[in-house]
Amino acid sequence: MTAFDNKKGRSILQAMVRSIQQNKTHLSDIDGLIGDGDHGINMNKGFSLFEKEYKDKELSFNEGLEKLGTTLMNKIGGSMGSIYGTLFIGMGEAGSRLTKISLADLTAMIEKGYSKLSEIIEARPGDKTLIDTLAPALESLKKSTEKKEDFKTALIKMKAAAKAGSDSTRELKARYGRASRLGERSIGVPDAGSVSCRLLLAAMGDAIVELLE
């Protein structure tokens, strides 16, 4: 139970696609409160496009991430196209030579994606964006790796960190994205991107657990 087969990654991507599809309306509703109400529509369109395009094709985890990222980047646009596109492409690239993916590998992949992402956005934790989910999730994985924790335990902790991070956005003032100019009025509502990021990390984590050998 220390790694999973990169080749079997399709199920992880499928789980990610499904979680977005199932939460399409929820994500748009949240975005509607302080944004423009299209987050679920944008995400669903991109993820479903990817699903359709690669339906009958073999895909490893890292390939899948790259293809998903490229689809988002080149077909969807919006903030999400570039943000999740950059994140997934970065993750995929970092995992390109792996046969088995360990906790340390997954951590390194997400770290690479996050660092690529930081090149195009300025948001830091506390700015009420998906970074508030991604950063603590990555932190948690890093700590688990250091402590050589069990992969499954690490994933459960990561999920919890992502959720806590996403929940924390409720109390924050938005500083980036459409909601940023709301000031005080953005407080009390979670950030849509932080919620989709939490859903994606949770789906990924759960699907990996199923694949652990």
Partner 1 sequence: MQRIINDPDNIVDEMLEGFLKAHADIVEATANPRVIKARNIPGAKVGIITGGGSGHKPAFIGYVGKNMCDAAAVGEIFSSPTAAAFLDAAKVADQKKGVACLYGNYSGDNMNVKMAVAMAKKEGIAIKTVIANDDVASAPADQREKRRGVAGEIFMWKVGAAKAAQGASLDEVIAAAQKAVDSTRSVGIGLSPCTLPAADHPNFAIKPSTMEIGIGHHGEPGMKVEPLGSAEDIAKIMVNIVLPDYPFKEGDQTAVLVSGLGATPVMELYVLYNEIEKLLQQKGIKIYKNYVGNYFTSLEMKGATFTMMKLDDELKELIDMPACSMGLKEGVCS
123 binds ligand ADP (CB under 6 A): yes
Q: 189 near 30, Cβ under 8 Å?
A: yes
CB of 151 to ligand ADP, least distance (A): 28
The residue length of the chain stands at 213
| Contacts with partner 1, 102-131, as mask; x by CB under 8 A | ------------------xx----------
Instruction: List the interface residues with partner 1, window 176-205 (CB under 8 A).
Output: 176-182, 185
CB of 197 to ligand ADP, least distance (A): 7
Question: What is residue 60's DSSP assignment?
Answer: -
Helix (H) or strand (E) holding 29: helix 24-34
- Residue 8: half-sphere exposure toward Cβ, Cα within 13 Å: 13
38 binds ligand ADP (CB under 6 A): yes
39 binds ligand ADP (CB under 6 A): yes
Rounded Cα–Cα distance for residues 136 and 141 (Å): 9
Q: Which residues pair with 101 in a beta bridge?
A: 4
CB of 133 to ligand ADP, least distance (A): 9
14-22, 100-108, 186-194, 204-212 -> range binding ligand ADP (CB under 6 A): 186-194
Which of 124, 145, 190 is closest to 163 using CA atoms? 190
CB of 173 to partner 1, least distance (A): 13
Name the residue nearer to partner 1 (CB basis): 8 or 175: 175
CB of 170 to partner 1, least distance (A): 16
Among 4, 38, 127, 140, interactor with Mg ion by CB under 5 A: 38
78 binds partner 1 (CB under 8 A): yes
Long-range CB contacts (within 8 A, 24+) of 105-114: 105/3, 106/141, 106/208, 107/138, 107/141, 107/142, 107/144, 107/145, 109/62, 109/65, 110/134, 110/137, 110/138, 110/141, 111/138, 111/142, 113/86, 113/87, 113/88, 113/89, 114/87, 114/90, 114/138
Binding stretches for ligand ADP (CB under 6 A): 31, 35-36, 38-39, 42, 78-80, 83, 121, 123, 129-130, 176-178, 191-194
Binding stretches for partner 1 (CB under 8 A): 25, 28, 31-38, 41-42, 45, 73-83, 120-121, 176-182, 185
